[in-house]
Amino acid sequence: MKHQPAKPNSDEHDRMSALEKSIIVLEAIVDHPQPVSLPELTLRLGLPRQTIHRVLQQLTSNALINRIADGDRYAVGPRLSQLAFATLRSRNQTAPMRAILSDLVAETGETCNIGVLDGFDFVYIERIECQWSLRVHLSEGSRVRAHSTSGGKVMLAYMAADLRRQLLRAHKLDGFTSTTITSVPKLEAQLQQVRTRGYAINDREQNIGIVGIAVPILDREGKILAALALHGPDQRLTVKTAVAFVPQLQAAAEKLAENWTY
């Protein structure tokens, strides 16, 4: 479960270390859907204003957060984003993840992967290939466009609507095959369906002849952590066959969430 720190009283915050104070400030900034101000953090955390201001200065100087001069607000910085992404890809914590993926591949017979959004790219952070000779050969770190893949569509569907609108305004929906969605209204309508049914389909939209399906990996508050996807050639994996794998994907996603959440 995601950690929600209780607002400390004066005695408690006096006993907190500098690291503990930095962590709760970082958590508050990451959890906020928009850049957050010093007064808002003071009200939310119950720490002295000068303490939070000092922490913000230290975090900013280390590029963990960014200070947005217009409005004097704070947002996630590049170093924190890089650290989070590197953590997900780190081999130090992938043994349980690979075990769950391996079981899923054995159960479904198809290649399975886990990915996250980086900008408008869906990036594979873990991937296990099936045993079939006919398959898509990709590796961890490979990137595909979010709008044309099942995992990317899951990530888009479960993000905050205002952030998704900003992202879609900033990127062109390139067409890769005849079935790729290149219209923002049409994509938004499909993303709404994804939220309703709990999975996304890639019907040969990124590569000709490749069908995929993905489900979200959610924390206990319903916030998306990553996407779990399965795909294969349409000679053996039709959309109907892929949808039949949703229960197995969702069960694996729950196990992955248990390993990731605090």
Provide CATH code, domain 90-260: 3.30.450.40
Rounded-to-integer distance, Cα 120 and Cα 143, Å: 10
Is this structure's pTM higher than 0.85? no
Cβ(105)–Cβ(128) under 8 Å?
Answer: yes
Average pLDDT over residues 96-115: 91
E-state strands within the chain:
36-37, 65-68, 73-76, 111-118, 121-128, 143-145, 200-203, 210-218, 224-233
- Residue-wise pLDDT tens digits, 220-236: 888 899 999 999 999 88
Give the sign of the dihedral formed by CA 179, CA 181, CA 183, CA 186: positive
Average confidence (pLDDT) over 56-67: 90
3-class state of residue 231 by DSSP: strand
**Within its chain, how far is the Cα of 211 from the centroid?**
21
**Gap between the Cα atoms of 100 and 104, Å rounded:** 6
Look at residue 16 in the predicted model and tell me its pLDDT.
77
DSSP label at residue 5: P
Q: Considering the domain 10-77, what is its CATH architecture? A: Orthogonal Bundle (1.10)
Q: How far is residue 34's CA from residue 190's CA, in Å, rounded to a whole number?
A: 25
- Is the pLDDT at 1 greater than 50, yes or no? no
The most confident of 3-17, 90-104, 205-219, by mean pLDDT? 205-219
Q: Where are the domains of the chain?
A: 10-77, 90-260
Neighbour tally for 109: CB within 10 Å: 14
